[in-house]
Structure 1
Amino acid sequence: MSATQSQATQNPSVTETARRAKEAAAELAPLPRTVRDAALLAVAGALTARTDEIVAANAADVDKARAAGTAEAIVDRLTLTPERIAAIASDVRDVVALPDPVGEVVRGSTLPNGLELRQVRVPLGVVGIIYEARPNVTVDAAALCLKSGNAVLLRGSSSAYASNCALVEVVRDALAGAGVPADAVQLVPGESRDSVRELMRARGLVDVLIPRGGASLIRSVVEESTVPVIETGVGNCHVYVDEAADIDTALSVLVNSKAQRPSVCNAAETVLVHEGVAAEFLPRAVEALAGAGVTVHGDEAWQKASADVVPATDEDWGTEYLSYDIAAAVVPSLDAAVRHIREWTSGHTEAIVTRDTAAARRFTALVDSTAVMVNASTRFTDGGQFGFGAEIGISTQKLHARGPMGLPELTSTKYVVTGDGHTRE
């Protein structure tokens, strides 16, 4: 039995695990960057050195998933190979190279009474991550939280339990060897729904929860948690082809937004086309999408353009397909496109394709999503693509963090006020 599995057996209480994380967070926060970075380099080295051990644990999860009839695409996301583990270790080293947000002065001033005021970045404290299937998230999340001075509680899916136990054991051993409290990274004990529920109610011990996964997982965490939640991930993204669009550009942006990688949250799920270009655009769009393997679920105008178009329903407009499917409609104006988006969007990413700068300005002003693209694919909404180096997720809420969440979004702030015996009259 691994050390982490033993930990879960000996300490069945999620509350006790969270309590240890809170103590570790207090020890971790004041550590200088050099210590945290050295610990992360130790983690990267340990992942490489113990690859065989991790692959063996992962094989048990993969065998169990195949025996249960799990779809091969899910099995692939679950699988860890030596090459994938090497890539995960490389990602950890990339995190080490990122700027340290802790201690950054956000703003500062000297008040008229002589008090010196500074607002500085500080770790959030204890971050809980609830996620599905992908065991690489275990290390990614741990690395980002450690870099930003946070302790992390990891609750992956039961389908990756053996893999996550092995990965967390490797990380914890590396931290202990580098002089960083091992309890800064812990696997939430238990595989049942009860352990998730207990984590969501650990208010006062856990500072924030970040769910990563499908719509049902995110919704249940948001609705049931008493711990503050950063809502992430669900992406019902739109591409609007304006009357002033360059048709070739619109086709390229649309196909890339939908088909480059359809199973992710920043893939387009709906295309809206101005009626002024519909006659020219629709037949070419159906052909281009079909060539990429995409099925169009269209309104009457799209159905008239091709017999291959499936009739769309209201359910299609609200669906995050995560597959080679896209909903499609023709709209009479830019404002009509905006109204459709406001009704159906999840607030993730929307794009406009147009050569009219006034139309682009109006669209970006009216659309209220985390990212608005002008003549660019929705697939660019990503921390790596934005130059953040890495991301913990993409927030679709409006409080604290919005859009791709890099290291600064894993911090809060506090005010440091320095006086010289000042008293208030």
Structure 2
Amino acid sequence: MSVTEICRAAAAASRELRDIPTEVKDRVLERIAVALSSHREELKAANALDTDAARLAGTSATLVDRLTLTDKRIDGMAAAIRTIAALPDPVGAVTGGITRPNGLVIEQVREPLGVVAVVYEARPNVTADVAALCLKSGNAAVLRGSSIAQHSNTAIAAVIEEVLAGQSDIPVDAVRLIPDTSRESVLELLRAEEYVDLVVPRGGPSLIQTVKEHARVPTVIDGDGNCHVYVDASADLSRATGIVVNGKTSRPSVCNAVETLLVHESVAGQWLPGCLDELAALGVSVRGDERTRELWPKAETAEESDWSTEYLDLVLAVKVVVDLDEALDHIDRYGTRNAEAIVAQDISVARRFARRTDSGSVFVNTSTRFSDGGEFGYGVEIGVSTQKLHARGPMGLESLTCVKNVVWGEGQIRVL
């Protein structure tokens, strides 16, 4: 099937999905979770083909980590699907309403978007996550993974297809993987506005630029994660160290990892060298401004490009700032609206940072690593929106629905 044919079939399936009861969707999700667990050896074997090829190609260790499926991660996929099944179904929920003076009752009711397509790179668990989120929210899913994870994605999609084909409640075309990993397949998907209601690109700058230039389908951009932590003059410095170390080292290859540390000059001298020593002991390479290098001479010189780089690796840019305003200006200039954090005990400073920072998620005295659909209680996420329409931040089930007006009357007619 061509990309357009896959999208056409998904659109037909989406019309059936709109009317499927919650208990049916949950039952099918449980079957998928069981099937993924029972097929773990096949999944790991397929994944080994991808990871071996990636290593031979000289792929970075952090990217290989994103690509790897272990027993723990397969269990995590199954657990995430069960979490989604346990969440309230947004479809049909009445989010608001009003009774007009003429007696009309107007309800705002949630319904599926239709066909949701996701283009993603190097994380095969996304195949299962997106499929589950779309099925629960009544949408058909069109998945286009990258060549680096092709064997893994194909194996996961095959398990899901087997479950859907083995029952009659949900059409098998409700979840489809595009086998073509060429750039042309992305372009064809972006032009399938007759069949696709939303495209979510989850990838690097080149993919995002392609989407911006060629998309005819509505898109929600899952952009770079150039995330910052600002350590204020009022910070609990012990707490700050833990937050920075966790944000940078717990999993550096993901979009909610910290890439830049901003430190108020009044605490930089007493706190920064010790924090950087701890980071260096964990393998972090530091690139600092002039003041940082005075305080910690082992830092490399930060270039202008470092402030805008999403490293996805054990590299951290560090800058000493005069005050909160300089930190905010820096984030405004270089941030990507994904996740930003402040460490501060002064509540007025923390509130100003939260109010002033233009980002989908702002964290006060906690790690940016919590910028995640699972941590937010959404089960998993279909992406992290770095724009403002129609969703922002981690996108869960509700973000895969829209609101329509249902108007109830008793024969009223409009006179004028």
- Size of the aligned set, in residue pairs, is 414
Q: What is the aligned partner in structure 2 of residue 6 from structure 1?
A: none
Deviation of 1:76 after TM superposition, in Å, equals: 4.1
Map of 2:29 onto structure 1? 40
Q: Secondary structure at the match of 2:155?
A: helix
- The alignment status of 1:273 with 2:295, answered yes or no, reads no
Q: Give the 3-state SS of the residue equivalent to 1:243 in structure 2.
A: coil
1:230-279 per-position Cα deviation (integer Å, ceiling 9, x unaligned): 11141111111112222222222222222222111111111111122222
The answer to whether structure 1 residue 154 and structure 2 residue 143 are counterparts is yes
Instruction: Give yes or no for contact 1:295–1:309 (8 Å, CA) kept in 2.
Output: yes
Please tell me the residue identity of whatever aligns with 2:16.
E
Indicate the SS of the match to 1:100: coil
Please give the secondary structure, in 2, of the residue aligned with 1:422.
coil
Does 1:235 find its partner at 2:233? Answer: no
Identify the residue that residue 175 of structure 1 maps to in structure 2.
Answer: 164
CA contact (8 A) 1:37 1:96 kept: yes
Identity percentage over the alignment?
54
Question: What is the one-letter code of the residue matched to 1:27?
Answer: E
Q: How many angstroms apart in 2 are the aligned matches of 1:397 and 1:421?
A: 42
RMSD across aligned positions (CA)? 1.8
**Distance in 1 separating the partners of 2:71 and 2:371:** 29
**Retained in 1: the 8 A contact 2:34–2:78?**
yes
Per-residue deviation, 1:73? 4.1
Aligned to 2:177: 187
Name which of structure 1's ranges 64-73 and 206-215 shifts more when overlaid on structure 2: 64-73
Q: Is the 8 A contact 1:222 1:231 kept in 2?
A: no
Cα deviation for residue 223 of structure 1 reads 3.1
Residues 1:357 and 2:357 are matched in the alignment: no
Quick check: 1:143 aligned with 2:132?
A: yes
| Greater CA drift, 296-305 or 85-94 | 85-94
Question: Deviations along 1:280-330, whole A, 9 cap, x unmatched?
Answer: 122222222222322221111111112201111110111111111111111
What CA distance in whole angstroms lies between the structure 2 residues aligned with 1:327 and 1:69? 25
Structure 1 segment 316-331 matched on structure 2, within 5 A: 316-331=306-321
Give 1:7's aligned residue: none
User: 2:331 is matched with which residue?
Assistant: 341
Aligned partners of 2:45, 2:79: CA distance in 1, in Å? Answer: 20
Quote the residue 1:131 is aligned against.
120
For 2:374, what is the secondary structure of its paired residue?
Answer: coil
Decide which of 103, 109, 113 is 1:114's aligned counterpart.
103
SS in 2 for 1:400: coil
Which among 83, 86, 90 is matched to residue 97 of structure 1? 86
Q: Deviation digits for residues 382-404 of structure 1, max 9, x if unmatched? A: 11222222211111110111011
Cα distance, 1:91 vs structure 2: 2.3
Q: Name the SS for the 2:107 alignment partner.
A: strand
Cα deviation code 1:120-156 (max 9, x no counterpart):
1101100001011222211111011001000011101
Superposition TM-score, scaled by structure 2 size:
0.94
* Contact 1:269 1:325 (8 Å CA) reproduced: yes
Contact 1:42 1:178 (C-alpha < 8 Å) held by counterparts: no
1:398 counterpart residue number = 388
Question: In 2, Cα distance between the equivalents of 1:282 and 1:170?
Answer: 49
Partner of 1:288: 278
Q: Secondary structure at the match of 1:211?
A: strand
- Residue aligned with 2:163, SS: helix
Alignment partner, residue 366 of structure 1: 356
Q: Which residue of 2 aligns with 1:4?
A: none
Letter of the aligned partner of 1:307 in structure 2? P
In structure 1, what is the equivalent of residue 239 of structure 2? 249
Query: Does the aligned pair in 1 maintain the 2:80–2:129 contact within 8 Å?
Result: yes
Distance in 2 of aligned mates of 1:282 and 1:55: 42
Equivalent residue, structure 2, for 1:409: 399
Could you tell me how far 1:364 is from its partner in structure 2? 1.5
Gaps of 5+ in 1: 1-10
CA distance in 2 between partners of 1:251 and 1:76 (Å): 25
Relative to structure 1, is the Cα distance of residues 344 and 63 closer, same or farther in structure 2, using a 3 angstrom cutoff? closer
Residue 38 of structure 1 contacts residue 178 of structure 1 at CA under 8 Å; is this kept in 2? no
Give the whole-Å Cα distance in 2 for the aligned partners of 1:215 and 1:202.
22
Separation of aligned partners in 1, 2:65 and 2:239: 33
Paired residue type of 1:316: D
* Worse-superposed segment, 162-171 or 257-266: 162-171
What CA distance in whole angstroms lies between the structure 2 residues aligned with 1:169 and 1:275?
55
Q: CA offsets per residue over residues 195-241 of structure 1, 9 Å max, x none?
A: 11100110121000011222332332233211111111411111111
Match of 1:423 in 2: 413
Residue type matched to 1:24 in 2? A
Q: Which moved more, 1:139-148 or 1:258-267?
A: 258-267
SS where residue 95 of structure 2 aligns? Answer: strand
Give secondary structure in 2 for the equivalent of 1:284.
Answer: helix
Letter in 1 for 2:34: G
TM-score by length of 1: 0.93
CA contact (8 A) 1:370 1:403 kept: yes
CA deviations on 1:20-59 (whole Å, 9 max, x unpaired) are: 1100000111111111111112222222333344344334
Aligned to 1:17: 6
| Cα 1:116/1:81, change in 2 over 3 Å | same
Structure 2's unaligned 5+ residue stretches are: none
* Alignment pair present for 1:382 and 2:372: yes
Separation in 2, partners of 1:64, 1:94: 33
Moved more, 96-105 or 280-289: 280-289
Partner of 1:31 in structure 2? 20
